[in-house]
């Protein structure tokens, strides 16, 4: 389990002690900020350590992520220092507002999709694999995608990788292909496309599309995600642009939707992974354009 503490005093250039055990060189650009220190422990393979260090560098490059820095404390202990964000996560915010207005939800999902596009645009693509409201912070109106603890880094030039942990992640946001599993099952960054669709649905209606309701077992939720049709509540009322043309199960729409209007059903939450068209940036821009036109 990760051990986390907050460095309450302002870090200065040079070393900073933590609990009389750890000494770090805090990056100069963070010297006027509070930071969060996450001690990762000792039992990590070399490949994973390389991925973690690489990930820290990658997410510094986009405004949709919390800046982080990877450190070796000694020969067998590692940590990450994060810039502290004072914003609330979307799960907390949704409990207060109950639902987001459609134009507000579109602004948020547009930013999320741009962040996913950034991760997908690398030579070594990154699958977040645990995208959900609780892992999305809102800081001064800007989305910050956090918690890359389950992320998967793909090989250079690869379009997919083997699913080694079927069912991992937060089940309400997990796509069907990750729940079915099977020998040599492959996944891609389209895992995050599905999760983004669940997030958007939840922002609009205040509930998840599958597995909603207290007391449902993991097996029941899994079956709903794999088998059930996607239905839209009658309230709050949303524009037809967001709804699919049919409530039938989404059995793999291979073609891109003619417009963003059917994008959520046809390109974001297509039942089968091959039909989940990966158009992060284009779809994000469609959301942003709609919002500007609807004001």
Which of 20-24, 34-38, 41-45 is least confident? 20-24
Cα–Cα separations (whole angstroms), residue 102 to 280, 288, 294: 19, 12, 10
How confident is residue 39, by pLDDT bands cut at 50, 70 and 90?
Answer: low
Residue of 279, 276, 287, 258 lying closest to 116 (CA atoms) = 279
**All domains in the chain, ordered by first residue:** 3-83 (3.30.200), 88-294 (1.10.510.10)
Residue 262 is predicted with a pLDDT of 41
Q: Average the pLDDT over 24-35 and give the result.
A: 53
Tokens 């741009």 belong to 114
Which of 39-48, 139-148, 196-205, 208-217 is least confident? 39-48
**Residue 6 scores a pLDDT above 70:** no
Neighbouring-strand partners of residue 218: none
Which residues are designated catalytic? 130
How many CA atoms lie less than 13 Å away from 213 in the CB half-sphere? 9
Distance CA 81, CA 77 (A): 14
Q: Average the pLDDT over 63-73 and give the result.
A: 71
**Residue 71 Rama label (left phi>0; alpha psi -120 to 50; beta):** beta
> Which residues make Cβ contacts (< 8 Å) with residue 246, sequence separation at least 6?
none
More confident residue, 55 or 257: 55
Residue 285 is predicted with a pLDDT of 59
**Residue 267 scores a pLDDT above 70:** no
Neighbouring-strand partners of residue 36: 6, 82
For the whole model, what pTM was predicted? 0.73
More confident residue, 7 or 124: 124
> What are phi and psi for residue 219, nearest 5 degrees?
-65, -40
**Residue 170 scores a pLDDT above 60:** yes
Distance CA 77, CA 24 (A): 12
Helix axes 102-120, 190-205, angle to 10 degrees: 170
Q: Average the pLDDT over 181-199 and give the result.
A: 84
**Residue 174 Rama label (left phi>0; alpha psi -120 to 50; beta):** beta
Residue 245 is predicted with a pLDDT of 42
Q: Average the pLDDT over 70-97 and give the result.
A: 76
**Do 174 and 225 form a contact (C-beta atoms < 8 A)?**
yes
* Mean pLDDT, rounded, of the chain: 70
Residue 282 is predicted with a pLDDT of 56
Tens digit of pLDDT for each residue in 118-131? 888 888 888 999 99
How confident is residue 174, by pLDDT bands cut at 50, 70 and 90?
Answer: very high
Distance CA 138, CA 273 (A): 29
More confident residue, 242 or 204: 204
Query: What share of the chain in percent tops pLDDT 90?
Result: 18
Residue 214 is predicted with a pLDDT of 83
**Do 69 and 119 form a contact (C-beta atoms < 8 A)?**
no
Residue 239 is predicted with a pLDDT of 66
More confident residue, 44 or 119: 119
Instruction: Provide the residue count of the chain.
Output: 295
Residue 43 is predicted with a pLDDT of 52
Beta-strand ranges (E) seen in the chain are 3-7, 14-18, 22-26, 35-41, 68-74, 77-83, 88-89, 126-127, 136-139, 142-145, 152-153, 161-162, 186-187
Residue 221 is predicted with a pLDDT of 95
């Amino acid at each position: 389990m990760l051990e986390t503490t907050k460095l309450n005093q302002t870090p200065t250039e040079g070393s900073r002690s933590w609990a009389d055990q750890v000494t770090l060189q805090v990056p100069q650009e963070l010297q006027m900020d509070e930071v969060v220190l996450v001690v990762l422990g000792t039992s990590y393979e070399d490949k994973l350590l390389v991925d973690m260090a690489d990930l820290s560098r990658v997410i510094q490059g986009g405004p949709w992520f919390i800046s982080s820095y990877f450190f070796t404390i000694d020969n067998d202990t590692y940590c990450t220092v994060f810039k502290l964000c004072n914003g609330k996560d979307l799960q907390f915010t949704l409990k207060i507002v109950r639902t987001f207005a459609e134009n507000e939800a579109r602004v948020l999902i547009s930013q999320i999709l741009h962040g996913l596009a950034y991760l997908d645009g690398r030579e070594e693509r990154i699958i977040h694999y645990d995208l959900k409201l609780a892992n999305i912070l809102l800081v001064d109106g800007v989305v910050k995608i956090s918690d890359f603890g389950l992320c998967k880094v793909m090989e250079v030039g690869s379009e997919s990788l083997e699913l080694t942990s079927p069912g991992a992640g937060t089940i309400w946001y997990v796509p069907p292909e990750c729940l079915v599993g099977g020998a040599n099952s492959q996944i891609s960054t389209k895992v995050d496309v599905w999760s983004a669709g669940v997030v958007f649905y939840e922002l609009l209606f205040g509930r998840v599309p599958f597995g909603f309701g207290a007391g449902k077992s993991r097996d029941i939720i899994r079956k709903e995600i794999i088998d059930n049709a996607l239905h839209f509540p009658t309230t709050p009322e949303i524009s037809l642009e967001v709804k699919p043309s049919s409530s039938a199960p989404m059995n793999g729409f291979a073609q891109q939707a003619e417009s963003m209007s059917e994008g959520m059903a046809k390109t974001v939450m297509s039942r089968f992974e091959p039909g989940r068209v990966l158009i992060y940036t284009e779809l994000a821009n469609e959301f942003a354009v709609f919002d500007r036109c609807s004001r």
